[in-house]
Chains A and B, each alone.
Chain A
């Protein structure tokens, strides 16, 4: 078998037992990698109704067949577990260098189960795996944790994935961080590590990935890398301005969510745009493993000689969504959130919920005591509450529960802008209705990454679609995006390659590496299988499609008040039945047996 080692390490933290398991090509061809492997194991091994923060939940660190190869952006890994934020599946992807190192150490996947009695970390040196005491790094922030563990390990090329204080304190949107600022960010997976007393995984791998035809693979890699380098976005806009180049674009198009999605136009967007960041703070760009794009930012601001980010999403979550106009504070807050180990989108979304609750009078100053008021635009909120959340101090303890639970505590559920209890990202779907359908049907809740419909609806790739068209064409495009994204994730590549590559390019890379002769349609079928399997897990976990495949009322009932999308809502009610039908699902959003059979999923019933 090429592209895989066929090796899984099962690490039980309750018993300390470490065992090696094998898998064969049948499993590889069925699931491809990362998300595919992950959902297969979750469906087989855990009760979907399990408490996500209990020892019975499992957490999987997975790679894809192209992870650790020379394929462009082939350094990704994914963490799959049951989310303490949504109660459904979490699958969070990260770049940097950890994923490739894990693969080069000889592992396709780690399955971590149980709960350690005391804080521990897992140390991996090629095939050698040990569980070690982590009491000396428990309580430490991400940057310090990485530094100490790498020193102790005695090899500066070792890579660390760890949690900060937020994960330890079971913040429901805690992230897993690697290389300082790269996050497997969403769904609160850092809290799952925390609940297992697992502080970090450190890995050093000196092996390689066997390929079917190395010569051929290298020539395909060259061709695809050139394609990316010559692409005006992947080879131009992204390295030059980073993802924050979107700030002005999305704002000018009138869907830049402002003050908790009250509007889609932010009056200060220009001052926190990618252009402004590049002019004022940028030192250089920074690529992940084997990446010819290099969208990462290294910035200098205030006392921070060097920090990375913020990305478009984080800039928005800590800026426009709170009405804050202070780019330096946004960059500093982003740095702090990374170091404490949290998801920037959910942190910002939760603070925005608090601001609106305060604005409408449901959250009162007396609830906060001497702490800063949650007034729109109050930068003090960033400086004060972020640390309080990570340590669950004072009002931070309530914020640490996330926007949904916070809004519920104060009787203002309609002010939570999220789906399936997860905070929405930086696009108001009243200006891109297909993207709204994507939010409503995403297996991990409020999220933009698993089907980036902004690409066709706003940016014009692979074709330009009218953002207010809700025909079957649009719904089919969303389904294709969901399935293709699952394939790219499972392969171990970065989604930003889609700005320069299409389905056939991924097929070429995979076939050359693996020695397979699958068609693009075959790969899309794997994507469809992954999507349906994740949905099946959610349904078994108790998902109620009628109530939860939905959007906040504001987006379906309150017309956009201003800007180019003035008067528009998301016509979700019209699109959703079409989506179910085109997916081959029942009208109530469940999956019929025949469909499960067609996708070879009936064994998981």
Chain B
């Protein structure tokens, strides 16, 4: 059971700040599940330069979409963002 956290516009699309998700092995499966659940709007928001972290580490520096998700992991998903 992984904890998935949403930020910025993703909170409006999902109507949630976070939720627990079961039965997914990796990020690819998680994203499929979430896109099925929240539809096009969710997918579109993440199309370009989104950020996905597993326990605070960017999946691009782990195994990208193949990054495994274990029990107790925290997955944070951000739409593209910047500031400074």
Contacts and interface: CB of A to CB of B under 8 A. Distances in A.
Interface in A452-504: 452, 454-455, 458-461, 464, 466, 495-496, 499
Interface stretch (A241-249, A330-338, A536-544): A241-249
Contact of B83 (A232, A253, A275, A312): A312
Nearest to B5: A252
A204 to B, nearest CB: 31
Interface-central residue, A448, A459, A496, A563, by most chain B CB under 10 Å: A459
Interface-central residue, A233, A240, A243, A252, by most chain B CB under 10 Å: A252
B82 A496 contact: yes
Interface stretch (B25-33, B35-43, B57-65): B57-65
B53 interface: yes
A446 to B, nearest CB: 15
B72 interface: no
B53 A252 contact: yes
Given A240-B9, A274-B8, A460 B51 contact: yes
A245 B56 contact: no
B37 to A, nearest CB: 21
21 contacts: A233-B80, A236-B79, A237-B9, A237-B80, A238-B83, A240-B9, A241-B8, A243-B83, A245-B81, A246-B81, A248-B8, A248-B78, A252-B5, A254-B56, A275-B11, A459-B51, A460-B49, A460-B51, A460-B60, A496-B84, A564-B57
A459 B82 contact: yes
A275 B8 contact: yes
B78 A232 contact: no
Contacts of B14: none
Contacts of A238: 82-83
A232 B8 CA distance: 12
A563 B49 CA distance: 24
A449 interface: yes
Contact of B81 (A233, A496, A564): A233
Contacts of B76: 252
B20 interface: no
Interface of A: 232-234, 236-238, 240-246, 248-249, 252-254, 274-275, 295, 311-313, 448-449, 452, 454-455, 458-461, 464, 466, 495-496, 499, 563-565
Contacts of B79: 232, 236-237
B82 A248 contact: no
A120 to B, nearest CB: 35
Nearest to A251: B56
Contacts of A564: 53, 55-57
A101 B38 CA distance: 48
Given A237-B8, A238-B83, A448-B84, A252 B58 contact: no
Given A275-B8, A460-B51, A464-B60, A249 B84 contact: no
A249 B56 contact: no
Contacts of B55: 564
A312 B53 CA distance: 21
Given A460-B49, A564-B56, A499 B8 contact: no
Contacts of B49: 232-233, 460-461
B9 A249 contact: no
B35 to A, nearest CB: 17
A243 B81 CA distance: 9
Contacts of B56: 252-254, 563-565
A94 to B, nearest CB: 15
Interface-central residue, B7, B56, B83, by most chain A CB under 10 Å: B83
A455 B8 contact: no
Given A253-B56, A458-B58, 10 more contacts: A234-B82, A236-B80, A245-B81, A252-B53, A274-B8, A464-B60, A466-B61, A496-B84, A564-B53, A564-B56
A459 B9 CA distance: 16
Nearest to A274: B8
B7 A249 contact: yes
A240 B8 contact: yes
Contacts of B80: 232-233, 236-237
A237 B84 contact: no
Contacts of B51: 249, 459-460
B60 A243 contact: no
A313 B83 CA distance: 10
B48 A232 contact: yes
A243 B83 CA distance: 4
Contacts of B11: 275
Contacts of B82: 233-234, 237-238, 246, 455, 459, 461, 496, 499
B10 to A, nearest CB: 10
Nearest to A449: B84
B1 to A, nearest CB: 19
A227 B81 CA distance: 16
